[in-house]
Amino acid sequence: MLNFSGCGLLFSFGIYQSLYEDMSREEGNPFSGASSAEISLIGSIAAALMKLGAPYVVAWSKYFDPKPVIHAGGILYGVAMVLASFGKTLWHFQLTQGLLVGVATCLSFMPSMVVPPSYFGKYRGLNMGIISAGTGIGGLVWSPILTSCLQSIGLRDTLRLTGCLCTILICGSGTVLSWEPTMAAHLQEDNKSSSWISGLLKVPLPPREIVMSRKFFAQSLNAVFQSAAYYTPIFYIAAYSKTLGYSDSDGSNFTSLSNACNAIGKVGVGFIADKIGRLDSFFLTTLLSSVSTAGLWIPSTVMGASNEHLGKGLFIGFTVLYGLFASAYIGLFSPALVEFFGMSNMPRITGIMYFLQGAAGFVGTPVAGVLVKSVNDQLTPESYLYMAVFVGALMVASTVTVLWARMEVMVERAGGRWKWQWKL
């Protein structure tokens, strides 16, 4: 439910992106004259801060307990969305719907990712997939709700309504999330040597020997490359669909379709990962994400203008495959970190890795937005070609670094010798 609420709304930002881009071509509104990149900065800031604050939020969850951290996030989420509803200029929305919503989402999202893995062993991949599927289910549910609300009660009341609903859902869900007893006892022992001031301000860092290892470097690069690419298609699905002749409601349906595949992929791949190996599944999902981008989205941008029917078919295929596999990477991220670095290091490693993801996402989507080129103030499928190439290149780089990290673990488990293992 924590992922369904705040994160689910973030995964539906494509509805707002499309609306704000339409408003930018009109006069007398907060988005008049704004570029696609400037508008996408709202969602990019929120997505980045959802993970940039991870080191501190994880530290607070360790020291103070997850409940007050989540409750603070729920209250801030409602305040941020209500403040956004009074926005008069673009920077007001970047500050509220972007920065404040990002901080609020981080306060609820990070505990939902770092606390549950300690409860699960054999079926950790499946269980974390189910938990992570909340983002996709949220996007599936919120997208048509947002479209309907925007059409019936307008932008400002929609922001107020969704903000208040999320406050209730986040705060209610946060009351039942707590550390697994063994992990709680371990954290309590660690906290004895720390004051509440250090618990509030000090970020626990991973051991030096882990940070200096090649697998840490490879996994860090992987997190950066994948996160820099990941949100761009999600935020631009609705806007890109319009260049192929689809309507606003169709764009909403594509966002819902992507999020439905998101949920299915996280649960399905999580189940498979427990059978064939979490690191192998981690690699395969990244590989298939890059294949779907290079093989379907890029050709759709090239052929969409001359052959609309073919362009639509390629785009639908990309929406389904990218939703299935790119999202499954997110569900496997925490279980993969356990395989790479061990359960005891999870609280220290998780914050740093999510921080790297947030920093990369903050840069990746705005850069991709700058690559959208309009012709005579009109957007065509080919306007998104360089964006698609950029996303595809990052996904290929992510695939290579995932494979590198897997090889490092394989050699490590073989005592430093090269010995192939099929299931990792």
Res. 76 pLDDT band, cuts 50 70 90: very high
**pLDDT digit string (tens) for 318-364?**
999 888 888 777 778 877 887 888 777 776 787 788 888 888 888 88
Instruction: Please tell me the distance from the alpha carbon of residue 286 to that of residue 365, in angstroms, as a whole number.
Output: 18
The 8-class DSSP code of residue 417 comes to S
Q: What is the share, in percent, of the chain residues with pLDDT greater than 90? A: 24
Instruction: Categorize the per-residue pLDDT at 424 as very low, low, confident or very high, splitting at 50, 70 and 90.
Output: low
Residues 198-252 have pLDDT tens digits of 666 677 677 788 888 888 899 899 989 988 888 888 878 888 888 888 887 777 7
| Tens digits of residue pLDDT in 129-142 | 888 888 888 888 88
In degrees rounded to 5, what are phi and psi of residue 360? Answer: -65, -40
Q: Of 16-20, 82-86, 367-371, 413-417, which gets the smallest average pLDDT? A: 413-417
Report the Cα 198 to chain-centroid distance in Å. Answer: 29
Query: What is the Cα–Cα distance from 62 to 43, expressed in whole angstroms?
Result: 28
Q: What is the pLDDT of residue 69?
A: 93
Task: Give yes or no for a contact between 327 and 261, defined as CB atoms under 8 angstroms apart.
Answer: yes
Residue 38 has pLDDT above 80, yes or no: yes
Distances in Å between the Cα of 207 and the Cα atoms of 81, 193, 318, 334 are 39, 18, 40, 18
C-beta separation of 111 from 70 below 8 A: yes
* Domain boundaries along the sequence of the chain: 2-413
> pLDDT per residue over 156-211, tens digit each?
999 999 999 999 999 999 998 888 888 878 777 776 777 667 666 677 677 788 88
pTM of the full structure: 0.75
Question: Which CATH number is 2-413's, of 3.40.250.10, 1.20.1250.20, 1.20.1050.10, 1.20.120.160?
Answer: 1.20.1250.20
pLDDT of residue 196: 65
- Token pair for 265: 């992929």
Cα torsion for 5, 7, 8, 14, to the nearest 10°? 140
